[in-house]
Amino acid sequence: MMKSLIRLLTLLLFLFLLPHWLGALTVKLASPLPEGTEWDNSLKQMAEEWRQITGGRVRVIIYPGGIAGDEADMVRKMRIGQIDAGVFSAFGLKVMVPETFILTLPSLIRNDDELDYVFDNFLSVFDDRFREEGFEMLAWSNSGWADIFCREPIKSPENLFHVSLAVDNTEAETSAAYKALGFNVVSIGLNEIMIGLQSGLVDAVTVPPVLAGAYQWFALVPYMTDFNITPILGGLVISERTWQRIPEEYHVELKASMEKVAVKFYEEARSLNTEALKVMKDYGLKVIELNNDEIAAFTRVMENGHTLMVGEGKAVPTELYEELRSKLDAFRKE
C-alpha cells in the first residue's frame, strides 16, 4: 500500500513538473571578456536574473574569454545554432549589420552628450535590420572613446600625416579611407602592435586609454592627443530563433536585465580608462590638449573621409548617413 502511494505521488510530481522541464531553454552566451573580471561577473548576475525572471524556464550558460572563437566565429556559430547569444564590439555588430559602421565613422559623433542623444534617438533604426539578419539586439554598450597615442606630440592632422598610423586589419573600409585622406596607414592585428611599435613599423595608434595601458604601448607612444576619434561601441545580441523560443511575456524584463549589464559595462570601462590614464601619467604619459581651432581642424579632416565610406555599394547608405547627420546638426543647435 505504501509503495503504491509513493509511486502515485512520484507520478503526480513528474506530471506536474513535466511542462516546466519541457519548456526549459538553455541559452549559450559567448563572451570575449576574461573570466573573473567585473564585466564577466555582471554577465553572471544577468544569468541568475534571467533564471529568476522566467522561474527557471531560461538558463544562461556563459562561455567567457573568447573560448567560442573570435567575433566573426561567434556570428557564424549563432547563425547555425551552435551558440545562442554573444557580447560583441562594433566589429562583430558590423559583421551582422554592416550599416552599424556609421556609428564609428571618425568625428561623426563627437562627445558624450551627442553619444547619449544617439543612444536615445537613433539606435532603434537598426532593430529591424538585426531581425532581418536573424538576430535580436538586447542592449547596446559604450566603453568610452579612442584617442591618439603617438611617439611625438600630435596637435594637427598634418602632424599625423607624417607618422605611421596603425589601423585594425579587420577594418578595411577605415584603412582605405585613411589612406585616401593622406594618412600613412599600417594595417595590423591587435596582437602585432607591440612588435610594430618596437620595430618602428608603427608610430601611432588610436585606442582607448585602457588598451594603451594594459598592453604597455604607452611606453613607446608616450603622447596622447585628447581628441575623441570615435566611440567604442558594442552590443549584447541573441539569435532571433532563440529569442522567439522564450515566451514573449518575459521579453521586456529580460531586455531590462541585459540593459543593466550594459550600464555596468560602461561604468567599469569608464573607471578603467580613468585609472589607466592616471597610471600612465604617473609613468610619463603626456596629454596634449587641443584648442578649439585645433579640434575643428581635426574634425574637418575626419569628416572629409566620410564620403569615402558612405554611398552606393559602401558600408553606410547615404540616406542613413544623412538622417543621422541631420539629427546631430539639430541637436548641436539646441
Q: 60-104: per-residue pLDDT in tens?
A: 999 999 999 999 999 999 999 999 999 999 999 999 999 999 999
pLDDT at 16: 43
d(CA 141, CA 144): 10
> Binning pLDDT at 50, 70 and 90, where does residue 22 land?
very low
Phi, psi (degrees; rounded to nearest 5) at 279: -65, -45
Over 90: is that where the pLDDT of 274 sits? yes
Over 70: is that where the pLDDT of 15 sits? no
pLDDT at 21: 44
Mean pLDDT for the chain?
91
CA proximity to 203, closest of 230, 252, 250, 164: 164
d(CA 20, CA 26): 13
pLDDT at 3: 52
Over 90: is that where the pLDDT of 253 sits? yes
d(CA 189, CA 127): 30
Q: What is the pLDDT of residues 194-217, one digit of tens each?
A: 999 999 999 999 999 999 999 999
pLDDT at 20: 46
DSSP secondary structure string, 173-223?
HHHHHHHHHT-EEEEE-GGGHHHHHHHTS--EEEE-HHHHHHTTGGGTS-E
Average pLDDT over residues 129-143: 96
Domain boundaries, the chain: 2-324
Q: For 195-223, give one letter per residue: b (16+ CB within 10 A) or e.
A: ebbeeeebbbbbbbbbbbbebebbbbbbb
C-alpha cell at 214: 594594459
d(CA 45, CA 52): 11
Percent of the chain residues topping a pLDDT of 70: 93
Q: What is the pLDDT of residues 29-41, one digit of tens each?
A: 999 988 988 889 9
Pairing of strands 286-288, 135-150: unpaired
Q: For 10-41, give one letter per residue: b (16+ CB within 10 A) or e.
A: eeeeeeeeeeeeeeeeebbbbbbbeeeeebbe
Percent of the chain residues topping a pLDDT of 90: 81
- Higher pLDDT: 274 or 17? It is 274
- Higher pLDDT: 265 or 13? It is 265
Tell which CATH architecture fits domain 2-324.
3-Layer(aba) Sandwich (3.40)
pLDDT at 1: 53
d(CA 42, CA 332): 34
